[in-house]
Structure formats: C-alpha cells, structure tokens
Amino acid sequence: MTERFVMLAPLALPLLILLPLAWAALAFVLGAGRGSRLAIAAAAVQLVLAFALAAAVMDGGPLHHAAGGWGAPLGIDLVADGLAAAMLLLTQAVALPLFIFARGYFHQDGAHPDAAGHHFWPLAGFLVAGMNALYLSEDIFNLYVTLELVGLAAVGLVASGGGAAQTAAALRYLFAALLGSGAYLLGVALLYGAFGSVSMVTLTPLIASASASAGAEAAEVALIAALLMVAGLLMKSALFPFHFWLPPAHGGAPAPVSALLSALVVKASIYLVLRLWLGPLAPLLTPLAWLPTLLGAAAILWGSWQAIHAERLKLLVAYSTVAQLGYLFLALPLVGVGSTGASASAIVTLQALAHGLAKAAMFAAAGIIIHATGRDRVDDVAGIAERLPLTLFTFALAGVSLMGLPPSGGFLAKWLLIDLAMARGHWPLAAVILAGGLLAAIYIFRVLRLAFLNLPEAMIEAEHHKARVVPRSAEWMAFALAAASVLLGLFGGLPLLQLVDGVGAGTP
C-alpha cells in the first residue's frame, strides 16, 4: 500500500501543475455549480499527490522531472526537495477544505452565486497552479513566470468582489505586485548577463567564486541583482514597511479569497526569499541578514499594534498576517541547528504551515461571523458564543496557534525559534518573539471576551430574525483547518522537520 502510494510521486510533479490548470479552464466553461464540484474533487486528488510526493522525498531525497523529456539546460526541470514538498503539502492541505468552505459560502442561498462566486473557481485554479509551479521550479526565470501568474490571479480574485473599495485595493495590490516582480525580473536579467545562466544549480558556484574574488565586476553586478531580486520579493511578501497593500486587499476581499491570499499567496514569495537567500545568493547576502530580521521584528510589533486597534474584524485578521509574516524573517541570521537539532529553514517552514492553516481558519470564521451578523465591526461579535459556538471555537483554536500557545503548531515553531535564538545568543530576538505572542493574545482575546458577553433578550430576538444561515459544511471546514493547525504541534512537527532537514540530520 505505502509502496504504491510512493510510486505515485514521480507523476505528482507534472500533475500538480497540470491538474489545477485543467480544472481552472473547465470551471470557466462549466460555470460555478459544476466547476466548484470539479475543483473540490481535483483538490482532493492533489492532496493525495502532495502526500505521496512528501513521503517519497522523505524516503529517497529530492525528485526530478524533465518536462517533455527535455532536461535542463535546454528544457525545463521540475524539482521537489523537502522544503518544496512541505510547501506543496501546505498549499493542497489548505486548498481542499477552503474550496469546500467556498462552495458553501458562495452558494448558500440557492444555486446562484454572485459575481465573486463565478470568478472564484477559474481564478483559484490558476492561482493554485501558479503556486505549485513556483515550488517545483528550479530556475530563476521560470520562477518569475510563476510569480506573475500567482500575482495576477490574486489581483483578479481581490477585484472579483466588484465594490469600489475592493477595486481600489486590487489596483493598489496590482501596483505593488508589478513593482515587485519588475524589480525581481531586472535582477534575473542582470544575473543572466553576468553569468549566462538562470539555473539555480549552475548559478550557485558561479556566484560563490565571483564573490570570493573581491573587486570583480561580476561580483558587483551580482550584488545589485541580488538586492533588486530580494527587494522585489519583499514587496510581494508584504514585509514591513512594504505591507501597505496587504490589509486593504486581504481585509476587503470575500472571505474565501482573503483566506487563500493570507494563508498561501504571501508564503510563495517568502519561500522564494528563503530559497535564494540560503541558496545561490547566500555569499552575497549573508552579511545583510540582520536587515530582514530587523524588519521582521518591526512587522511583528507594528502589525500586532494595528490589529489591536483595528475596528473591523477582517482588518484585524489581516493585520495579524502582517505581524505573523514577521516571524518568518526572524530566522535568517540563525542558520544552523539549535539545541533541539532543527534547522532554521525547517522551523520557518513549520511556522509557515501553522500560520497558513490557522489564518485560513480564522478568515473563514471571520467570514461566517460577518455573514451571520451582517456587520463587520469587531464590537459586533458581542454575544456570538450563543449563536455560532462552533465558529467561535474555530476562531479561538486558530487564535491559539497564532498566539503560539500549546499544543499548537505555532507554539512548537515559536519554542524552536526561541531555542535557536538563545542557543546563538540572540537575546533580543527571543524577547521579540515572546512579546509578539503576548500582543497576539491581546488582539485575539479582544474578540473572544466580547463573544462571551450576554446580550439582552430583546436584542437576541432581533438578531435571530436577521440571521442568515451559513451551511454547516462551511463551519466544519473552517473548524477542520483550525484543528489541523493545533494538531500540527502534537503530531506534525517531527515528520515535517524531518522532511525539510532530511531524516537523521541535525542531531545536536
């Protein structure tokens, strides 16, 4: 059984890109009703494939696939190592429950979804295809193409709501995304001019030897290219102070879209930063590692502060994303293993997974609450414990992971990160992480403590009349995502860390 399962793995590399492209196109033709069913079925298959891929990588190391039989340098190589397999798994694991949620969310009153529901399925398909392709790509130009695909699909999803505010947010997002990918492309062009290759494997030794010979022209060009690429990616990753486009875009879009964007899309560009920073660009950028760390710390504090003061529920959740993304950049100067033997990149991956699952759950829960009450202010959640107990529980569970409280995945990642920081003597980092957890508790419990308030009887009556029904399936899917982010800490940490680091690696 397991062997057959692993035998699926080589197929998974092309299929994880082709399948979503196929159902995206079909959903466009078939319409939202049948399209959504198709998307959900395909997402289930993709999840199985991602699991098979992860199992195979864990057993036998990275997998390669030469697209169309033409390998690099002529053709395109698809490569999946532990890190890529983990990110693919995150993408499919969030996508499947979110699609079921989205079907319930968009189709609740009969079978006629609004415009956002119609556009959701094709755009989400392209988005998933783009992200999967990004994780499997091995050369920096291919990465640019996938990055654009992801960016454009995401902008389309934000705009699909159709309101004036949403269109403005989408335009701002588009501007930031294009600026970011433009800078990245410029960097790619410079590198190609200097070294004549776009393959990461080929570039790594070339850049290393160029930067070793001080004063060489190639080294200077490479440094400028590296800075351009990273700056562009940080813009797309919404790292403080480039976060300006994120809160309106994520806070304004329909709930399933916000969930997809916050949980998955920003992770794609951060993955790329990590890949490049620890890979080919390492010799150039290592002295600058404190910079993203400093920005990450600022993001944690600033994002949390804004979330604490946000008036609208979804804006609170969006600012929480700004803060949580900061954690992913803290680990850059901590390369190596701590006293527990997990590497910095493995811990970052764990944090990305925990946040992805929890944030998808939280946006979904926020969407349900807003839909049920018809209002979106934080104060309007008063008394929600009475009416939507399951969804409130979902919100709380997701919050547990975001605050980094046990036994969640967020807790495990935070623990390992503090451990790593202390082992290296980076005390301020440990302090920032602890402070970030407490600030998160303030904005999460700001919602939870209101939810427990008793409303006057008359108000409850009035609310019940207005209440719109959210399908149980949508509520349960949000709950499943939140539960997954908590259980990740108990059962998912070990396999995940081993997947990224390789089994047996990193004994202290």
Partner 1 sequence: MTTNELLPLLVLLSSLLPGLVIFALPEAWHGLRTTLNLFGAVAKIVLVGLLLAGVQAGEVYGFRHVVAPGLELVFKADALGLLFITLSTVLWLFTTLYAIGYLEEAPHRSRFFGFFSLCVTATVGIAMAGNLFTFFVFYELLTLATFPLVAHRGTPDAKRGATVYLGYTLVGGAALLAGIVWLESLAHHTGFTHGGFVATLLPGNEGGLKAIFVLLIAGVGVKAAIVPLHGWLPKAMVAPAPVSALLHAVAVVKAGAFGIVRIVYEVFGVETAQALGLLTPLAVIAAITIVWGSLRALFQDELKKRLAYSTVSQVSYIVLGTALFGPIGTIGGLVHLVHQGVMKITLFFAAGNFAETLGIHKISEMDGVGRRMPLTTLAFSLAALGMMGAPLTAGAVSKAWLGDGAVAANMGWAVWVLTASSLLNAAYFLPILWRAWVRKAPTRWPEEHIVRRGFVETHWLLLIPPLFTAALTVLFGLLPADMASPLSWAQMIAGREYLLPQR
**Distance in Å, CB of 219 to partner 1, minimum:** 37
Residues that bind partner 1 (CB under 8 A): 338-342, 383, 385-386, 389, 393, 400, 405-407, 411-412, 415-416, 418-419, 422-423, 430, 434, 437-438, 441, 445, 448-450, 452-454, 489-491, 493-494, 497-498, 506-508
With CA atoms as reference, report the closest residue to 346 among 394, 409, 388.
Answer: 409
Helix (H, G, I), strand (E, B) or coil at 490: helix
Helix (H, G, I), strand (E, B) or coil at 79: strand
Query: For residue 276, what is the enclosing H or E element?
Result: helix 266-278
Which of 368/420 has CB closer to partner 1? 420
Is the separation of the CB atoms in 267 and 238 below 8 Å?
no
Query: For residue 46, what is the enclosing H or E element?
Result: helix 32-60
Which of 110/508 has CB closer to partner 1? 508
CA–CA distance, 250 with 11 (Å, rounded to integer): 34
The HSE-up count of residue 330 (CA atoms within 13 Å, CB side) is 34
**Distance in Å, CB of 54 to partner 1, minimum:** 17
Number of helices and strands in the chain (H, E) = 23, 2
Output phi, psi for 375, to 5 deg: -135, 155
**Distance in Å, CB of 71 to partner 1, minimum:** 35
**Distance in Å, CB of 318 to partner 1, minimum:** 23
Which of 251/410 has CB closer to partner 1? 410
**Distance in Å, CB of 172 to partner 1, minimum:** 36
**Distance in Å, CB of 323 to partner 1, minimum:** 16
CA–CA distance, 316 with 447 (Å, rounded to integer): 10
Beta strands in 42-182 (DSSP E): 63-66, 77-80
Give the contacts of 389 (CB within 8 A, at least 6 positions apart): none
Which of 112/449 has CB closer to partner 1? 449
Which of 148/380 has CB closer to partner 1? 380
Query: How many Å separate Cα 96 from the centre of its chain?
Result: 14
Which of 192/445 has CB closer to partner 1? 445
**Distance in Å, CB of 132 to partner 1, minimum:** 27
Residue in this structure with the two tokens 């890109």, named with its chain if needed: 17
With CA atoms as reference, report the closest residue to 140 among 180, 85, 185.
Answer: 185
> 506 exposed, middle or buried (CB, 10 Å; 0-12, 13-18, 19+)?
middle
Which of 288/455 has CB closer to partner 1? 455
Which of 34/449 has CB closer to partner 1? 449
**Distance in Å, CB of 85 to partner 1, minimum:** 18
Cα R_g (the chain), whole angstroms: 22
